[in-house]
Amino acid sequence: MARQHEAEPTYRAEDFVADGALRDVCVLNATIDDWRRVFDGLHAVPGRHVLTWTLAGTAEKGPLDAPAVWSRLERDPEESASLAIDIDGVWFTCYFFDIEEIEFTFDPSDVVDNATFTPVRSFVTWLGTATGREVIVTMEGTDHAAMPPLIRWWP
């Protein structure tokens, strides 16, 4: 049976209590093709984005190439990178921990009501649309597949 669009992600205050932990937005079991679709979809992201290389100290704002990023990270274990996307003041940041999981984090203290939840809704919808994959939002953690999702959305 084919999945249908989940209803628009909705705001629930209990999911965004500022408790010192971030929230994670994930695509599980990702492939390099999913990463390509994320990078290719950056032209349509509803905010600005920047890729920053920590060792080199350089920022890239133009078109990005997923295989090139992962290759550079594999070649140089001292290098790390982050992709930050700002949507109406809420920053979603990816640190490229694992090629098999697209994971962005954000600070729940930025989300205090329905109006400030709009960037989260926009980001989750964009990520799911860009990858064509299910997106989950969880509490901060390392085993997202075992965690109960706060939001589950698929295109």
CATH number of domain containing 19: 3.30.310
Q: 53 is in which domain, residue-wise?
A: 13-153
Residue 39, domain member (yes or no): yes
Q: How many domains does the chain have?
A: 1
Mean pLDDT of successive 10-residue segments in the chain (155 residues)?
60 94 98 96 89 80 84 90 95 96 98 96 96 96 95 93
Cα distance between residue 23 and residue 67, in whole Å: 26
- The pTM for the full model equals 0.91
Query: Quick one: pLDDT at residue 6?
Result: 58
